[in-house]
A and B are shown apart, each in its own frame.
Chain A
Amino acid sequence: MALQELTYRDALRKALADAMTENPDVVILGEEVGRYGGAYGVTKDLIKEFGAERVIDTPISEPAIVGAAVGAAMTGLRPVAELMYVDFIGMTMDQLANQAAKIRYMFGGQIGVPMVLRTQGGTGRSAGAQHSQSLEAYVMHTPGLRLAMPATVADAYHLLRMALTKPDPVVFIEHKALYTMKETVDLDAEPLAWGKAAVRREGRDLVIVTYSRQLHYCLEAARQLSARGVEATVIDIRTLNPLDFDTIRAHVERTGRAMVVSEGVMTAGVAAELSARITEECFDFLEDPVVRVAGEDIPISVSTALEAGSVPGPQLIADTALRMLAGRVPA
């Protein structure tokens, strides 16, 4: 219906505003979410629209922010807690992993914790070792937590709206380098369901499985590859839990080659999990080992050169694909 140009940031803000309008129990709490409008501007002016009782500025007390959201969710609110940087998730890990993630199970299914924890991660701002990490593996490694990581403007909106209808805690990780990305979207169009991977590009030669900002690097690499005669399928998994493995499997079986791309460090990361699963479940169809293209196993430096060098980019993705297909493409 209505096409509009939105940034990723605007889409997130609109999702929050629409959810708050629809459901009076939705409240936001976090550092600088109110008067300041959010460190990255996502909650700008929501306090004016919905008041300070629903857009709650907190002291700098991450464990209590998450813990308060847990209690609020158990008692009839629909909290959206915000962690300014995913790097602070370690401070909150007890509330997240021991409380939010386990309450339904430990208490024999009596109650769930329908909360959303919004945060952002990734490189791109010379923010240094403690403000640039990709820590989604911590979340994915914790049964009981759902995990969404939008890569597009439409998904920023829809996945956040859907997260706010889920019965269990959802960790929602945005990418700091995507906030200003613009797309023309029709938010009234039927969105792809929660838990479904999006096939962003189809090609016969290999499958590249990715999410968050790396989607854009993979699509860029796919364009370069296409110019060299290699056609890649690019799958954006959107939600890491629940994971749509059926879509991944179908395309891996069709093409026989898979690469997994993630900004998080390579060892024991999301790419490791996906790669293991593809290897286990699609073994008979694979022509090559599944290759991981992921962040280096190091902290992120403040130096812009080292920062950029620490994570995958289009060049590494394209080079790797070409080598996988070596002999099959004209040099």
Chain B
Amino acid sequence: MYEADLRATAGRTMAGRVGAGANTRLPELYRTMRRIRTFEERVGELFVRGQSAGSMLHLSIGEESAAAGVCAHLRDGDSFTTHHRGHGIFLARGADPARMMAEIGGKEAGYCHGKGGSMHIADMGLGHLGANAIVGGGIPAVVGAGLSARHHKTGAVSVAFFGDGATGQGILYESMNMAALWGLPCVFVCINNQYGMGTNIAQATANPNLHERAAAFGLAAETVDGLDVEAVAEAAERLVEGARAGKPAFLAVSCYRFYGHARKDKSPYRDPVEEEAGRRQDPVAFARAALIDRGLESESELDRLDGEIGAEMDATIDFTVAQTEPPLASMFRDVYAPEEPEPEPVRARIDRVLARD
């Protein structure tokens, strides 16, 4: 299945887009993708330096076009949820990479004060309703956000980002059915990187044409090749604007997970030949070549940009390493609302039980 995808894109060039340069968003899309790529590389470094909180770090290298292409059409007030491989999506929506990295390091200065970590980063201010470590766990929230938008007439859309693995979860179908039934401003974006841990999509479903399922529920549904960020952005524009107008949508972005599932996985279950071919489906390299081919940027300009981004992301590691762990007492904070009493520590309860005069 994946082989066929590869053959279909192998001979493609950027020729079709030559001349379409004037008002292209490609430079911005490239910058977003490069920032994601570099950030994820630094997450890998943080792990190697023993400065990450655990090893359950899922890099989105190879799938940057989904984050950049879709988020290019989100605006203030829109909301979204992500799966466990969500760093790139959040960056594309304007996250501060230093606070993200600090969260990944389990530090107090992180977005969630070291409580969430890589799999649970969120920032309500940016419409990020939360990254999720339960496969499919974040999907139905966008139905609720769609109800809110309709009720308050905000014109906002809500986007669920999830992996191909989540298409095994019934909750996706329950959510899409509700969104279609009620005409809610929801978009379901499936980042199909071909794998759920060690399981290839072809080993997880008898029909890998994922958009057909969404179409069956009555959503506008497309599959797009994630190699080409402009194609992703174009499809996203159609579908996001359609959703704003009350036609919920599904978009599958085909891509390849370049590295292991999490930091300790070396993907022994993948054929090296397939892996090499998969890594050639590089949306960042593809966009870079297109910028140069179309005369939109010179190689040296891009080198300079890449260098700036490298420095920006290096600084996130320095920042994280310098930060402190959350204070122990903070573990009782935010179980309930701040005005409510905190849970009583076990030690305090034992003290009371054993109090002697």
Interface residues of A (CB under 8 A from B): 31-32, 35-36, 39, 57-61, 63-64, 87-88, 91, 125-131, 266, 288-289, 291-299, 301-306, 309-310, 312, 316, 320, 323-324, 326-327
Contacts and interface: CB of A to CB of B under 8 A. Distances in A.
B238 to A, nearest CB: 29
B343 A301 contact: no
A61 B347 CA distance: 40
A131 B197 CA distance: 16
B198 A36 contact: yes
Nearest to A312: B346
Given A35-B198, A39-B197, A131-B56, A306 B165 contact: no
B343 A298 contact: yes
Given A36-B198, A298-B332, A298-B335, A303 B350 contact: no
B241 to A, nearest CB: 31
Contact of B53 (A60, A126, A298): A126
Interface stretch (B110-118, B153-161, B308-316): B110-118
A289 B354 CA distance: 8
A305 B53 CA distance: 10
Given A36-B197, A57-B199, A128-B116, A302 B106 contact: yes
B113 to A, nearest CB: 8
A36 to B, nearest CB: 4
Q: Which 10 A-B pairs have the closest CB atoms?
A: A126-B54, A302-B117, A59-B168, A36-B198, A303-B114, A303-B106, A60-B168, A297-B343, A130-B133, A61-B168
Interface of B: 53-56, 106-107, 114-120, 132-137, 165-170, 196-199, 203-205, 269, 325-326, 328, 330-332, 335, 343-347, 349-350, 353-354, 356
Contacts of A64: 170
Contact of A305 (B116, B118, B328): B328
Contacts of A91: 134
A127 B54 contact: yes
A12 B27 CA distance: 54
B210 to A, nearest CB: 12
Given A60-B168, A60-B169, A306-B328, A128 B197 contact: no
A309 B331 contact: yes
Contact of A306 (B56, B331, B353): B331
B66 to A, nearest CB: 19
A129 B133 CA distance: 9
